Structure 1
Amino acid sequence: MTSEEAEEREFQRLYGPWEPYDPAGVQVLLAEFGRPWWLVGGWAIEAFTGVARRHEDIDVVIFRKDLPRLRELLGGRLDFWGAGDGALRPLTERWPELHDAAGQVWLREHALAPWRLDVILSEDRDGAWVSRREPDWSAPLGDVTWVDEEGVRHQLPEIVLQHKARLDRPKDRTDLAAAWPLLAPSRQSWLRAAVGRLAPDHPWLGLMGGG
């Protein structure tokens, strides 16, 4: 058993299994959302590279301010759970607000059903996207995302990889290997500098030719 398989087994023992939507399913689910949403994580890398791999979940980002609209749209179909720092708590009449550590919400049909969607809550600054890794950095959403032929918005791959570098799991290195050769030199330089800011001796710097 690989370390990733062991990690997934332990996750399911504590929290239950995932049967995530795919991007097309998310697009149907959020067709009437009417607010910005975009994919990050492995699905965003796959959309950029065209290199398929297995996905344990699917990560969708919305602005935190738009969570009430998401609950209005899906609240009758899916249960919402605030997630963060290993803690899960449902959003209900008893607990109408997210717990303090919650930076995302997990969605599923009911307690015996698998998790279907992980919704990451992004802060905004006057409507602009704010980086979770570097909170002083904000930008118009159109500058940090791209839209594929199906109309699905994705975070730029170099920003996705900046986030993945912190965990440095085998699947993150797989995504780096798939995306790195396809990045323009300026975007490679940006990612190398961003990872260097995370850790001057980060092992990815060697993989990217930065040391």
Structure 2
Amino acid sequence: MGEREPLHRTAEEVAEDEEFFRWYGRWAPLDPAGVVELMAGFERPWWIVGGWSIEAYTGRPREHEDVDVSILGCDLGAFRAHVGADWNLWSNHGGTLRPFNDRHPEVLDVGSQVWIRRSASDPWVVDMVPTPDRDGLWTSKRDPDIVLPLDDVTWVAGDGVRYQRPEVTLHYKAALHRPKDDRDLAVTWPLLDPQAQAWLADVVRRLHPDHPWLGLMA
């Protein structure tokens, strides 16, 4: 695997990051190997999503601002028990933070985020994005009518790590449409099989009828 492609960010994105750090603190994200160590012994399904899932599928490395990990919403309590007192968990819903601990055993919103760090003086290391589930089935946050078995939306790489399938990651990224998302689509689209391409194009067409990506997908 070659050198990491720099992450191109607009001036607005850089300014937003600096404002974020001022309010919430710095990030020193784990890499997938670090996530494996964190999740060792957790007996419920977990998988890596976001940009790292694109890199795992394409073999095209780029810089990453964080690492995104997902579990089913029904397994949040099991995850809190798994990390115990070793890590601080914070439920983040739209910028509102609340501890996810014995005093507050429920997250603010199962479709939001759980940020993870050692303590208040340490940087954040993982952005956990729980996936709403319906009777244990994966449910899309973008379209709750998309309900699938977990094995249909994830795959296991040669190193044994489970990742979100690239077309599923891209259906989330379509709503954000940042420069890094355009890049991830460009390197991934030619590698998708026809079934995956058709699924992604259909979802983007339904959710974002005027999306610029549809030109590439035609």
Which TM-score applies when normalising by structure 1? 0.93
Residue 127 of structure 1 is matched in structure 2 by 136
Q: Residue 100 of structure 1: CA displacement?
A: 4.5
- For residues 89-125 of structure 1, what are the alpha-carbon distances to aligned partners after superposition, in whole Å with 9 as ceiling and x for unaligned? 1124443332258622101001111101111111222
TM superposition shift of 1:2: 2.9
> Does the 8 A contact of 1:21 with 1:116 survive in 2?
yes
Per-residue CA deviations over 1:138-169 (Å, capped at 9, x if unaligned) read 11111111000111111110010000010101
Match of 1:141 among 139, 150, 155: 150
The corresponding residue for 1:179 is: 188
2:19 corresponds to which letter in structure 1? E
Q: For 2:138 and 2:101, locate their aligned partners in 1 and report how far apart those are by CA, in whole Å.
A: 28
Q: Which of 83, 87, 94 is the matching residue for 1:85?
A: 94
Q: Does structure 1 conserve the Cα–Cα contact (< 8 Å) formed by 2:74 and 2:136?
A: no
CA distance in 2, matches of 1:56, 1:179: 19
1:53 aligns with 2:38: no
Query: Which is worse superposed, 28-37 or 88-97?
Result: 88-97
Unaligned segments of structure 2, at least 5 residues: 1-9
In 2, are the aligned partners of 1:82 and 1:102 still within 8 Å (CA)? no
Matches within 5 A, 1:62-101: 62-100=71-109
Q: Which residue of 2 aligns with 1:6?
A: 15
Please point out which of 166, 179, 199 is paired with 1:157. Answer: 166
Q: Secondary structure at the match of 1:122?
A: coil
Q: In angstroms, what is the RMSD of aligned CA positions?
A: 1.6
Counterpart amino acid of residue 211 in structure 2? H
The amino acid that maps onto 1:67 is L
Measured after TM superposition, the shift of residue 39 of structure 1 is: 0.8
More displaced, 155-164 or 115-124? 115-124
Gaps of 5+ in 1: none
Task: State how many pairs are aligned.
Answer: 209
Which amino acid is 1:110 matched to?
S
Amino acid at match of 1:56: E
Structure 1 residue 209 displacement after superposition: 4.0
Partner of 2:48: helix, strand, or coil?
A: strand
Change (3 A) 1:134 1:96: same
Contact 2:73 2:110 in 1 (8 A): no
Instruction: Please report the TM-score for the alignment, with normalisation by the length of structure 2.
Output: 0.90
- 1:186 Cα deviation from its structure 2 partner: 2.3
SS at match of 1:107: strand
Cα distance change on mapping 1:133 and 1:42 into 2, 3 Å: same
Residue identity in the other structure for 1:54: E
CA gap of 1:100–1:38, structure 2 versus 1, over 3 A, is closer
